[in-house]
């Protein structure tokens, strides 16, 4: 409980304005709000470890909308909602009137009559996911303003085409725990590297979330990828800006070896090139299966040129002391285990397997913190009540 008391003391010094606000992109939140969120998530985790109740709601609904497959984020959202005292309902679009042409503005209001929070994952269409979330946000705002809804539910981004804030925040809390504090991250090198995968179409949101967030804490962030595998240019520019502002560094490397050299943390993760995701979106909209299949074959052939982009033992030896922390959002493509050849060697993954599980374990508490800080105005007081209960 010493950690809890220390965190509560630090929270009292931070000025935040998250009440009634959606959480759609980490870069829409201030540094103080990001720090506060990390402290609240860590506090909720420690209270849960101490077997204390996290219940702050007597009733209310948490609604999830998953337009892509999910394990960790789906169950983390459900766990967070349940722990806080909310009921959970998952909107299955195939079983709703959406299949009959119901519009977004109508659906958003119909599911929100007693809702506290709506969590959305929509990461398949570049230029669509975050836009859809904001369309839902505008719809519930109108419903509240016009008196249809008694309250406006908060929206939480459970992964979109631009950012994956629950993942990057969980990663930040994991790094804070590993190195001892957020201040200790200053000057630490993290390699956010593309890695080979025998599949295509993986979203850009994880690497973009990492480079946009970690550059805010004075880290030395190196983004590595083969030629043609770049991210959204605006997010890369944001990372450069953040590094300059925080006193950190941001660089782009053309080899995994260069990125790993002297790194304290490595994050090898496959993603589809920005240009490919741009081509993929209209094909998905049109339902052009032949076009999608041709694009997939083209991309898989291109991926195969870079099979040496694997996090193996030789590359890990290039890191600081050969003992950099390996991170991954999971599931990882593990060579010889989940695929013939993939993102990471089996020996490397197995050595850090439990560490990746701990990394993921912060996600339900990050989501719970996002909900708590948006729905309870005096959330520090609510945390103190949980401690005393």
What was the pLDDT predicted at 100? 63
Q: Is residue 90 part of a domain?
A: no
Least confident of 58-72, 177-191, 273-287, 338-352: 273-287
> CA 368, CA 361: separation in Å to the nearest integer?
12
Predicted TM-score (pTM) of the model is 0.96
What was the pLDDT predicted at 284? 84
What was the pLDDT predicted at 117? 98
Task: Give the distance, in angstroms, between the CA of residue 117 and the centroid of all CA atoms in the same chain.
Answer: 17
pLDDT digits (tens, 9 = 90+) for 216-260: 999 999 999 999 999 999 999 999 999 999 999 999 999 999 999
Q: Is residue 47 part of a domain?
A: no
Domain of residue 264, CATH code: 3.40.50.1370
Q: Is residue 300 part of a domain?
A: yes
Q: Is residue 233 part of a domain?
A: yes
> CA 326, CA 126: separation in Å to the nearest integer?
28
Q: What six digits make up the tokens of 43?
A: 């506090």
What was the pLDDT predicted at 99? 63
Q: Calculate the average pLDDT of the chain.
A: 96
What was the pLDDT predicted at 98? 74
Contact status, residue 189 vs residue 223, Cβ threshold 8 Å: no
What was the pLDDT predicted at 329? 98
Total domain count for the chain?
A: 1
Q: Is residue 357 part of a domain?
A: yes
pLDDT confidence band for 290 (50 / 70 / 90):
very high
**First vs last C-alpha separation in the chain:** 13
Instruction: Respond yes or no on whether the N-terminal peptide bond of residue 234 is cis (omega within 30° of 0).
Output: no
What was the pLDDT predicted at 389? 87
pLDDT confidence band for 96 (50 / 70 / 90):
confident
Contact status, residue 176 vs residue 42, Cβ threshold 8 Å: yes
How many CB atoms sit inside 10 A of residue 55's CB?
13
What was the pLDDT predicted at 55? 98
Q: Which residues on neighbouring strands pair with residue 253, listed in sequence order?
A: 224
pLDDT digits (tens, 9 = 90+) for 191-222: 999 999 999 889 999 999 999 999 999 999 99
Does residue 97 have a pLDDT over 80? Answer: no
Residues in CB range of 39: below 8 A, 6 or more apart: 7, 10, 11, 14
- φ, ψ (nearest 5 deg) of residue 193: -120, 140
Q: What six digits make up the tokens of 234?
A: 């605006």
Domain that residue 188 falls in: 167-361
Q: Is residue 244 part of a domain?
A: yes
pLDDT digits (tens, 9 = 90+) for 177-194: 999 999 999 999 999 999
List, as own/partner pairs, every contact residues 143-151 make where C-beta atoms lie below 8 angstroms and the sequence separation is at least 24, other chains included.
Answer: 143/108, 143/109, 143/112, 148/109, 149/109, 149/112, 149/113, 150/113, 150/114, 151/116
Give Rg (Cα) of the chain: 21
Q: Is residue 249 part of a domain?
A: yes
Q: Is residue 105 part of a domain?
A: no
């Amino acid at each position: 409980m010493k950690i809890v008391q220390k965190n509560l003391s630090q929270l009292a010094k931070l000025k935040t304005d998250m009440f009634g606000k959606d959480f759609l992109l980490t870069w829409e939140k201030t540094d103080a709000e990001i720090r506060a969120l990390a402290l609240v998530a860590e506090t909720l985790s420690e209270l849960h470890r101490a077997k204390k109740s996290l219940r702050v709601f007597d009733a209310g609904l948490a609604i999830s909308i998953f337009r892509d497959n999910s394990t960790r984020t789906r169950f983390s959202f459900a766990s967070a909602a349940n722990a806080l005292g909310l009921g959970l309902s998952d909107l299955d679009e195939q079983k709703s009137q959406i299949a009959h042409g119901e519009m977004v503005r109508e659906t958003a209001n119909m599911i929100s009559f007693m809702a506290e929070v709506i969590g959305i994952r929509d990461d398949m269409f570049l230029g669509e996911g975050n836009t859809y979330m904001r369309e839902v946000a505008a719809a519930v705002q109108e419903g509240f303003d016009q008196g249809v809804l008694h309250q406006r539910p908060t929206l939480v981004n459970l992964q979109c085409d631009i950012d994956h804030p629950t993942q990057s925040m969980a990663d930040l809390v994991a790094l804070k725990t590993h190195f001892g504090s957020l201040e200790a991250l200053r000057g630490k090198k993290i390699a956010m590297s593309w890695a080979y995968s025998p599949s295509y179409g993986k979203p850009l949101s994880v690497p973009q979330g990492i480079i946009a967030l970690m550059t805010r804490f004075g880290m030395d962030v190196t983004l590595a990828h083969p030629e043609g595998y770049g991210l959204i240019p605006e997010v890369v520019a944001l990372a450069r800006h953040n590094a300059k502002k925080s006193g950190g560094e941001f660089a782009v490397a053309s080899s995994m070896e260069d990125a790993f050299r002297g790194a304290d943390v490595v994050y090898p993760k496959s993603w589809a090139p920005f240009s490919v995701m741009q081509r993929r979106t209209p094909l998905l909209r049109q339902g052009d299966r032949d076009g999608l299949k041709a694009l997939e074959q083209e991309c898989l052939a291109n991926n195969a040129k870079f099979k040496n982009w694997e996090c193996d033992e030789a590359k890990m030896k290039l890191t600081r002391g050969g003992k950099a922390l390996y991170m991954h959002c999971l599931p990882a493509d593990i060579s010889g285990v989940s695929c013939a050849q993939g993102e990471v060697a089996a020996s490397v993954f197995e050595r850090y397997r439990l560490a990746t599980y701990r990394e993921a374990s912060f996600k339900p508490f990050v989501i719970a913190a996002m909900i708590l800080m948006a729905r309870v105005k005096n959330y520090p007081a609510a945390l103190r009540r949980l401690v005393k209960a």
